[in-house]
Structure 1
Amino acid sequence: MTSLRGEWLAAFVAVVEARSFTDAAKRLCRTQSAVSMQIRQLESATGQTLLLRERNGVIPSTAGERLLPHARRSTEALHDAATLFDDDEAAAGPLRIGIPEEYAGTAWPGLLSRFQRSQPRVELSVTCASSDRIEAAMDQGALDLGILVADDDQRSGETLLHDPTWWAMAETLELPESGPLPLVLFDQACWWRQWALDRVSDTGHEWRIAYTGDSIAGVAAAIQAGLGIGVLGRSTLPTGVRPVPTALGLPDLPGSRLMLNVTAPDAPGATEMSNLVRQHFSFATASPSAGAAVHSKGRDR
């Protein structure tokens, strides 16, 4: 029977989630060479190649995909066992946090799961909404911690990252040599729609609206599918999406900032959650491909 060590499995899970040996090493507080050694030992023990290096980062092989759910369960069980006899005075009670829609993608469930495992007595309540709604809820005392997208200097807080905004298109999209540019935009409720149309018109390009959506996920998916060009944040470009050619002459776009606001620092687990969020976005800043989620200039921010 093959014998697998817990630290090997933890390193494997960290590399898959970070899509990078470097970022996995930071997450585990180890050197990159140590993580690489543990992966080699795991592959030697299983007799399988478990990770593949692709242009967009490190991904699991077919064998790695089979191992991943078991590795996650084992890593979580070891973590739970390690915290079994932690101080009984650990934080307990409700913690209410708000996350903007742009950043509530696949990375967040894992982050929240890690927090809940480390703080089992904290009653976590998560609200996913626009930044305007999150800000209003914090002002009303309905949230203890909130993350906001700021397009200007009117919002205050701790800056987690600066995110340039790019005109983006699918790698497979072939733009027409003549005729109107296909655009993927939000509906009329979003002020960025008219801004984008004005900027394209200023260049002298003809345009046509190929897709209109009322959600960030829908617009990002349409760009990824090659229906046209649109606006996305650099740190969270989906797989298969790249900046439009500079030859189009489209003007630079103002970027945005992701802000952390803690309105109730004494709330149970608020300090731990803040530290986890900072750590998460430090990885995203260092490795854009490991970003938080689809981010697009969108509706009532």
Structure 2
Amino acid sequence: MSAPLDIDQLHTFIAIIDSGSFTKAAGRVFKTQSAVSMQMRRLEERIGKQLFMKDGRGNRLTAEGEKLLNYARRIIRLNDEALAAFDDSRLEGTLRIGTPDDYADRYMPEIIGRFAKSHPNVELYIVCEPSVDLAEKMARGELDIALVTHNPRARTSDVVRTEPLCWVFSANHPLPDNAPVPLAVGRRDCNWRQLACSALDAAGREHQILFTSWSSTVVASAVLAGMAVSVLPESALRTGMRVLTNADGFPSLPPVQIGIMKRPGFSATLTNAITDHIAACLDNITPVSNDLDSDGDLKLMPRQIGRARSAQILPSW
């Protein structure tokens, strides 16, 4: 029977990827750089494959290293959940979380599932409302944490994910070539609606808002029916939608960001626990490719998506 993988080595392996270099990882795992290098040599011997390869002054993952990374994260996650299940000092209490309905559809199932396994004695109370309303609830102390569309002009939140904002239309209908551009968007205070209208105005394209709704389902239905154009983040692309580009006459849009709002004075332990789960889940959504920065350190960059995914996320209002 083959010997099991070493959990400590896997922790170090993940730390190298997350920090971007062997040197930074050493600080995270409280080891010397030589000890980190030794652990990776032993892990490569155990796997029987080369995990890193030299590239300039730094290192980058091999294809086998990328393959192991997925398994390593799953093994560490399961190990942490098992330990938490037998921890008498595990977290207890109630955590009130706010999220727009589209984020709830796409992100919350994994977040809630992982958090519940790690902290079974914490009761989660979920509220689904637009980001604007969630910010107001946070201000009134009605929520402990909220996952919102980051908008520094309207509210303060810590950014946990950044991705492109795309023009979308039905893949099964011809794009109307007459002006004005028909739009399906969120309410007047929706940040994505404002970005879309401003971009079209700057490009000199006439547009008309045909559908306005706080419901992401209604807006997506209008798009899929070929009745209107809308805007979605890259991870929101669904089967039946296609991305419109400059070639179609649509200007580039600024990227969108997902942020976390935290209630001041609330339990830092509970807040940090759910924030860690949220960040980990969002990090796993978009595949990554490996590259080196100017200092030769390993870094992870989002891989461009060339086709629509069948992700069940809709626009956040």
- TM-score normalized by the length of structure 1: 0.62
Matched with 1:271 is 272
CA contact (8 A) 2:238 2:311 kept: no
Question: d(CA) in 1 for partners of 2:275 and 2:195?
Answer: 34
CA contact (8 A) 1:144 1:267 kept: no
Question: d(CA) in 2 for partners of 1:246 and 1:130?
Answer: 30
Residues 1:294 and 2:314 are matched in the alignment: yes
Taking the TM superposition and a 5 Å limit, the aligned residue runs for 1:43-122 are 82=82, 86-122=86-122
Matched with 1:42 is none
CA contact (8 A) 1:168 1:232 kept: yes
Question: d(CA) in 2 for partners of 1:193 and 1:279?
Answer: 28
Taking the TM superposition and a 5 Å limit, the aligned residue runs for 1:1-301 are 24-25=70-71, 27-29=73-75, 82=82, 86-177=86-177, 181-186=181-186, 196=196, 199-200=199-200, 203=203, 211-263=211-263, 264=265, 266=267, 269-286=270-287, 289=309, 293-296=313-316, 298=317
Question: d(CA) in 2 for partners of 1:26 and 1:203?
Answer: 47
Question: d(CA) in 2 for partners of 1:221 and 1:109?
Answer: 22
Query: % of aligned pairs identical?
Result: 28
- Helix, strand or coil at the partner of 1:109: helix
Cα 1:210–1:267, aligned 2, differ >3 Å: closer, same or farther? same
1:164 shift after superposition: 2.4
CA contact (8 A) 1:148 1:258 kept: yes
Cα 1:290–1:22, aligned 2, differ >3 Å: closer, same or farther? farther
- Helix, strand or coil at the partner of 1:104: helix
Deviations 1:221-254 (A, max 9, x none): 3213333321111222222322114233222223
Question: d(CA) in 2 for partners of 1:129 and 1:21?
Answer: 38
- Helix, strand or coil at the partner of 1:284: coil
Once structures 1 and 2 are overlaid, which stretch shifts more, 278-287 or 261-270? 261-270
Question: d(CA) in 1 for partners of 2:106 and 2:279?
Answer: 17
Deviations 1:145-170 (A, max 9, x none): 22221234553332111232221112
The amino acid that maps onto 1:275 is D
- Helix, strand or coil at the partner of 1:175: coil
Cα 1:188–1:87, aligned 2, differ >3 Å: closer, same or farther? closer
Question: d(CA) in 2 for partners of 1:210 and 1:144?
Answer: 36
Question: d(CA) in 1 for partners of 2:251 and 2:287?
Answer: 26
- TM-score normalized by the length of structure 2: 0.59
Deviations 1:198-228 (A, max 9, x none): 7546656565665444412210232133333
CA contact (8 A) 2:99 2:128 kept: yes
1:177 shift after superposition: 4.8
Once structures 1 and 2 are overlaid, which stretch shifts more, 164-173 or 149-158? 149-158
Contiguous gaps of at least 5 residues in structure 1: 1-19, 31-74
Cα 1:221–1:165, aligned 2, differ >3 Å: closer, same or farther? same
Matched with 1:66 is none
Question: d(CA) in 2 for partners of 1:84 and 1:195?
Answer: 43
Contiguous gaps of at least 5 residues in structure 2: 1-65, 289-304
- Helix, strand or coil at the partner of 1:105: helix
Once structures 1 and 2 are overlaid, which stretch shifts more, 170-179 or 20-29? 20-29
Cα 1:242–1:21, aligned 2, differ >3 Å: closer, same or farther? farther
The root-mean-square deviation of aligned C-alpha atoms, in Å, is 3.7
Question: d(CA) in 1 for partners of 2:310 and 2:279?
Answer: 14
Aligned residue pairs, count: 231
Deviations 1:53-81 (A, max 9, x none): xxxxxxxxxxxxxxxxxxxxxx9xx998x
- Helix, strand or coil at the partner of 2:254: strand
Once structures 1 and 2 are overlaid, which stretch shifts more, 139-148 or 118-127? 139-148
CA contact (8 A) 1:148 1:259 kept: yes
Question: d(CA) in 1 for partners of 2:146 and 2:283?
Answer: 17
Question: d(CA) in 2 for partners of 1:254 and 1:244?
Answer: 14
